[in-house]
Amino acid sequence: MNKVRTLEEVLEWIEDGCALMYGGFGGIGTPPALVDGILKKGVKDLTLIGNDTGFPWIGIGRLVTEGRARKAITSHIGSNPNAGRQMEEGTLAVEFHPQGTLAEKIRAGGVGLGGILVDVGVGTMLEEGKGKVEIDGRTYLIEPALTADVAIVHASQADPFGNLVYDKSGRNFNPLVAMAGRLTIAEADEIVPLGSLDPERIVTPGIFVDAVIPGKGVNWIWAWEKQAATGSRNAPHGN
């Protein structure tokens, strides 16, 4: 089975108004060629589902900056002022979830569950309007699973079956997102022959992946590179 496709072929799956789930954390691990292709195709009215809205010029943030999204289901938009501005102007609806809850909602969608029970956010405004259930005397919120029409992920390596290996902290939401798309597209920096990936190292089994396209690396300047170039005060140290 060969799932290797061209960017043009997979872009036909991504249409106006679709729910698009994406891997990445601050743009790290968001597939650049796919974001570029979606931009160039002119896809609009997207519902974006992912950890954050990147930076204005990095990752999924590029789609937000260009006004291609009408809704974001996410945990953080702080690094992309365009998202905040659009939220204030009313052109972007933003649904915030705690990061770990968002990860598990996506995972639940990917593993065929209806949702999760979680006590994070109990006793805060996050519980408003949500179902609750009590187990062994503890209150949990009912958080429905999340799926999407299309999921896009970044891998360092993929084989033609769609087995994926990620790149260090670029893994982040990618393995969860890869399972939760009705169609999942993986952009890989390297596509290797079937049988050449060590089965012990494969993180996402190819069964969840519908297409693999070749990547060409990132086409943006990272936030820390920009900060170094502009001579801003010391970058955050350590973790």
The residue ranges that bind another protein (CB under 8 A) are 25-29, 51-52, 55, 74-79, 84, 87-88, 94, 96-101, 103-104, 106-107, 118-121, 123-126, 156, 166-176, 203, 218, 222-225, 228, 235-239
Other C-beta atoms closer than 10 Å to the C-beta of 212 total 26
CB of 2 vs another protein, minimal distance in Å: 27
Please report how close the Cβ of residue 129 comes to another protein at its closest, in angstroms.
Answer: 15
The pairing of beta strand 132-135 with beta strand 115-118: unpaired
Taking alpha carbons only, the member of 210, 219, 226 closest to residue 189 is: 219
Closest distance to another protein from the beta carbon of 151 (Å): 14
Token pair 């570029």 in the structure block, residue: 36
Token couple for 95: 């649904």
Euclidean distance between CA atoms 183 and 180, whole angstroms: 8
Cβ closest to another protein, residue 49 vs residue 218:
218
Nearer to another protein, 150 or 174 (CB): 174
β-bridge partners, 74: 96
- As given in the structure block, the two tokens for residue 164 are 């994926």
Nearer to another protein, 25 or 208 (CB): 25
The distance of closest approach from Cβ of residue 42 to another protein in the complex, given in angstroms and rounded to an integer, is 28
Nearer to another protein, 82 or 159 (CB): 82
The pair of three-digit structure tokens given for residue 129, joined into one six-digit string: 């309007």
- Nearest distance from C-beta of residue 159 to another protein, angstroms: 20
Cα 148-149-153 angle, rounded to 5 deg = 70
Which residue, 2 or 169, has its beta carbon nearer to another protein?
Answer: 169
Please check whether residue 174 is in contact with residue 26, taking contact to mean a CB–CB distance below 8 angstroms.
Answer: no
